[in-house]
Amino acid sequence: MRFGPLLLLLLLLLLPLCGAGSPALSRSLSLRGGWRIRSGNGSLELPGEVPGCVHSALRRRGFIQDPYYRFNDLNYRWISLDNWTYSKNFKIPFNISNWQKVNLIFEGVDTVAKVLLNNVPIGKTDNMFKRYSFDITSVVSNVNSLELRFQSPVLYAAQQSKAHTSYSVPPDCPPLVQKGQCHVNFIRKEQSSFSWDWGPSFPTQGIWKDVRIEAYNICHLNYFTFSPIYDNHTQVWSLEIESSFDVVSPKPISGQVIVSIPKLQTQQTYSIELQPGERIVELFVKINKNVTVETWWPRGHGHQTGYNMTILFKLVRGLSIEKSTKVYFRTVELIEEPIEGSQGLSFYFKINGLPIFLKGSNWIPADSFQDRVTSDLLRLLLQSAVDANMNTLRVWGGGIYEQDEFYRLCDELGIMVWQDFMFACALYPTGRDFMNSVRAEVAHQIRRLKYHPSIIVWGGNNENEAALMMNWYNIRASELHTYINDYVVLYVKNIRKIVLAEDSSRPFIISSPTNGAESIKEGWLSVNPYDSNFGDVHFYDYINDCWNWKVFPKARFVSEYGYQSWPSFSTLEKVSSKEDWSYNSKFSLHRQHHAGGNDEMLLQIGFHFKLPESTDPLQTFKDTIYLTQVMQAQCVKVETEFYRRSRSEIVRGQGYTMGALYWQLNDIWQAPSWASLGNQLSSPTNYHFLSSLSETVGLHKAHITAVISQQGNTFAFDLETSAVAPFVWLDVGSIPGRFSDNGFLMTERTRTVLFYPWQPTSKSELEQSFRVTSLMDIY
């Protein structure tokens, strides 16, 4: 059915109950907070927090050490191999018999569990990314016991793989160097939680998002979602809104909605009528064309303007609800068209009709344990990206659909988001149960996220087109058609179909990398997904000299590239012991999850720098760590500058690069990785070395001093050097925060750098922790 603009705005603000705020319509009881957790055989029982996971509960109660300490990712494997149970006893603080319907809502369960209320099975969960709603009207009482009996995700994944007898679905296991678990592609869970080449294996169990009881009369709003649409012909903005109601009244529900958008000079009243049962209400609302609508722009291109909306929903019997929300307006187009003087097609994004170069990074989960990822941490990480002059982050498909606060902050900060669906570096089954779960997951995530202006593109998967067509898994040619069919079923006939039905406001691409329109033309999979004349590419080369820009692809869009480095010694020191502090220690080899990674870093260093010369093993380790960071900074700098130069030129038929997203922004633990937050802050001036630093004549060891002063919540480091100092690296030990610049070339005698602490600190604490290193200090 269709209604006018008023109901649209009503639905916009009705979160999450049709009767929210009106006692006669609904009551809600949060089940967050304290729960009990017990092991499979009952030998261990402890308090736990929800949202949370078993690992965090064990750590909080002192049963385990820091999971990131030394080899604890191996020592604590028993946790993910056990079958844990979450339980909670609770009273309903209102008369349950007064309500027509009562639901138990889980916003996120990690992952496989049987749910029992008062010892009655009420449902199962098997997807970390779905929202679950169970009707408990006939089971709930005034005093209740709730249990979630979890199954080990590792054992579940193995069982699902074993049950898939018709053919294998590779890869079975990650490379041995990752020390990971197997068959992660058979469970709808964070794929990197079974290990990755930059992270540990911690397959968590727990209730990782909100859980609550919702009781209601008359009607309930299951979900609402909306997106702005711009008509180029009429030059009018409109809002498309879809809402799902559960009307439990035996008769139709009538009422009025009063919508007020002051800055758009809008106040309108509409009549509505909702029929009994599950009802979808679709709305198409035109915005007053006589008022100028200010659009949302990416960082560096304009303001992130949003409009406050107030909705008063008046139902029968004098019931009323008032809600407020913010709406943003912006358009996005993915342009794939012929380019003069070049084969292939362009691949770039227009925001509000303006072509924009996407500059930024790839985002992975900020922690193995999501309950430790706070709003403050997200703000610090995202603000750091903005301060590094980024305008885009790609939420990578092997992690999670991020929490609401992540996207709200991206909206606020003007960060564009390339949003993958959570499929990565694997082939996937397409059985009935798996596909039903995926369809529900995809529909839920689109409805949850599509109103965010920051999200500019949906991506079907990470590297799975390449995995299949470049034959990563050595599939016999005679069997290839089976896997191609599965690929098309999953990403085209299901995910793409749902995206096109649910969201017409932004583009969808099947994979990354992909040849885009060319891949579609070739039957959804291209013979060469890395063709630099089409779509996007991922490019990694650890063998050739990274200062030689000729090795880089002059591609249309580069959505992954990068180099490894080690984190600073002060970071490693907290999760290691003295015996670990050498480049070839057991610990160093254990933490390196990329085959040959430590040797590749030394190879890149050797192209332009001398290796450390200290006779002190510990100092040699510290100096080597420093050189890996210098090498990474230079490699990423050279490659990024190459892509940015290529944005406006065609050379020998190639170029017109319109995006560069390096791998990766953030770390998940203390180990060698491609992360570079802090290393890549832009200096106000650029520089180019005319020779390798190993061949430079006349450089002297620089004596650098710092005078620290406090300026409000910021600290100024007034530096003074006795000589020209390449790659000046400032370190304040374990004090969290960021410098306004780091790893810089210091040619002037003095320079001031600002430090932004992430938690309260003092001048004296910084003075005690401060260390400065420049290149000649290590020789």
Is residue 11 within 8 A of residue 283, CB to CB? The reply is: yes
What DSSP assignment string belongs to 207-234?
A: E-S-EEEEEESSEEEEEEEEEEEEETTT
Distance CA 109, CA 127 (A): 7
Active site residue 463: yes
Q: If we measure between CA atoms, which residue out of 135, 95, 96 comes closest to residue 115? A: 135
What sign has the CA pseudo-torsion 139, 145, 146, 149? Answer: negative
Tokens of 314: 């008046």
E strands, 364-473, in order: 392-395, 416-420, 455-459
Cross-strand pairs, 108? none
Q: What count of other Cβ atoms lies within 10 Å of the Cβ of residue 242?
A: 18
Structure tokens at 278: 């599950």
656 sits in the region (left: phi over 0; alpha: psi -120 to 50; else beta) called: left
Q: Name the burial class of residue 602, with classes exposed (0-12), middle (13-18) and buried (19+) by CB atoms within 10 angstroms of its CB.
A: middle
Token pair of 24 as six digits:
């006669």
Dihedral sign computed on CA atoms, order 473, 476, 479, 484: positive
Neighbours of 487 (CB within 10 A): 24
Q: Going by DSSP bridges, is the β-strand pair 455-459/416-420 parallel, antiparallel, or unpaired?
A: parallel
Give 211's contacts (C-beta < 8 A, 6+ positions apart).
30, 31, 32, 50, 104, 105, 106, 107
Candidate list 463, 465, 518, 639, residue with the active-site label? 463
Pairing of strands 219-231, 332-335: unpaired
Which residues make beta-bridge pairs with 328? Answer: 306
What is the C-alpha separation between 365 and 369, in angstroms, rounded? Answer: 9
Cβ-Cβ contacts under 8 Å for 453 (sequence gap 6 or more): 228, 296, 304, 328, 329, 330, 411
Given a contact cutoff of 8 angstroms between Cβ atoms, the answer to whether 684 and 664 are in contact is: no
SS3 content of the chain, % helix, strand, coil (to 5): 25, 30, 40
The amino acid present at 739, given as its one-letter code, is F
Helix segments in 37-152, DSSP class H: 54-60, 72-75, 77-81
Contacts of 290 (CB under 8 A, 6+ apart): none
Tell me how far apart the alpha carbons of residues 113 and 124 are, in angstroms, rounded to a whole number. 6
Whether 278 sits among the annotated catalytic residues: the reply is no
What distance, in Å, lies between the first and last C-alpha atoms of the chain? 75
d(CA 777, CA 703): 9
Q: What is the DSSP letter of 404?
A: H
> 107, 147, 214, 560: which one is catalytic?
560
Q: Is the dihedral of CA 413, 635, 509, 420 positive or negative?
A: negative
Report the run of H or E that residue 715 belongs to, with start and end.
strand 714-721
Q: Is the peptide bond before 736 cis (omega within 30 degrees of 0)?
A: no
Contact of 601 with 672, CB cutoff 8 Å: yes
CA-angle at 210, arms to 395 and 410, nearest 5°: 30
Rounded-to-integer distance, Cα 625 and Cα 672, Å = 10
Phi-psi region of 208 (alpha: psi -120 to 50; beta: other; left: phi over 0): alpha
Query: Could you give the residue numbers annotated as active site?
Result: 463, 560
